[in-house]
Amino acid sequence: MSRLPEPLPRALAPLPGEGLPGLILRLAHRLDLSPTMLFARTGLQTPASSYTSGRLLLGLGERLTAFAQTTQLTPVEAARLTLAPDTERYPPIATSLHPRPNRFFPYDLWVFTSFTRYCPHCLAGDGSVIQQRHGGPWKIRWRLPVIFICHEHQTFLRDGCPRCQRSAHAFDQASSRLLPPSPHGGLHPAQCRNRETGLTPARLFCGARLDSTAAQPPQPEITPSQWRLQNRITDLLEQAADPLQATRHFTGLRVMSAFLQATWPQGRRFTPTGLSDALEQHIDQLKRRAGERGDHVERLRWDAPPRSAVATVILLEGTAGLLALERPAFQDALRTMLPSAPAKSSKQWGRTWIHLKKHASTQFRDDVAAAVANDL
């Protein structure tokens, strides 16, 4: 049996809702270490590894005991820094834990492993001494596309840096890591760690403060229906929620999100009036990126969620509206939308049909299957 590593000289208690990357950033800042050094000290990165995998967001696995020992946490506290507690209720986590061989996307697209959304107010901290020094929490559930509102600060989550315009903690999906490489210490946990071309050796990272709202673009007001939608989603992720009910609900949202995007603008009437532009920009971006790569069929995925929280809430409001229709009206809506959809055999659908077959309710699966059989 291998010997467990020695505890670090100082520790930090996890903040409410905090994720593994956030604790690493705050602890590295307190110890005046780089995150890369701390990865090695805590057993998250082994000598045989060239980087610390984003897969640890899903669960620490065999690294749990060593990480808890070195950070002076209990195993339960350490596990709560990951998405593992939500696995039973949110199917994309389990899909990411057991990927198919030779997949271009090693993680399910409905888990953000290659970047994160964030709330600037949360990152600024609550005014306590420890958070004044090391910042507030990077919350683990910001990695779920279905989380788009910060309840505490009543604002939509952000995803981009106001200076470099790249997503926070950004990586390409195919090479996801827990954090961008940062061999040097000194950056505050709330600073942007994205590397930029043309920077000097004295400034290797963007460095913009993400805990300031001064440079952030304005966002729309949150409507009562958007609050209800987010509350419903959050409730389904809680331990008290029925796992089967939660799984079916998230599957319905995902499948109908793919339908809305694949048939756009046919589903515009189901989205909030005057707010569909953000969703349209996301769909246009999907098409543009696929065209730039020259492999439209392989890379264009209609089941890909938007990075923008605003575009996401518009998409999910539309899907929730569709799912709330009475059965005849729902079937009529599908028949109206489907003629403009790609063929069922198209790879653009991603894993839509697999999710429908494995996780959807019988009635929902039958309604969609009947419409698809007639129109695709």
What does the pLDDT average to over 39-68?
A: 86
pTM above 0.75, yes or no: yes
The reply to whether omega before 265 is within 30° of 0 (cis) is: yes
CA within 13 Å, CB half, 253? 26
What does the pLDDT look like over 292-350, one tens digit per residue?
A: 555 444 467 888 999 999 999 999 999 999 999 998 899 899 988 988 888 888 888 98
Report the pLDDT value the prediction gives residue 103, as an integer from 0 to 100.
Answer: 55
How confident is residue 189, by pLDDT bands cut at 50, 70 and 90?
very high
What does the pLDDT look like over 210-241, one tens digit per residue?
A: 999 888 888 899 999 999 999 999 999 999 99
Q: Could you give the angle at which helices 327-337 and 362-375 cross, rounded to 10 degrees?
A: 30
How many CB atoms sit inside 10 A of residue 207's CB? 18
- Residue 259 burial class via C-beta count within 10 angstroms: exposed 0-12, middle 13-18, buried 19 and up: buried
What does the pLDDT average to over 22-44?
A: 93
Whether 99 contacts 119, CB under 8 Å: no
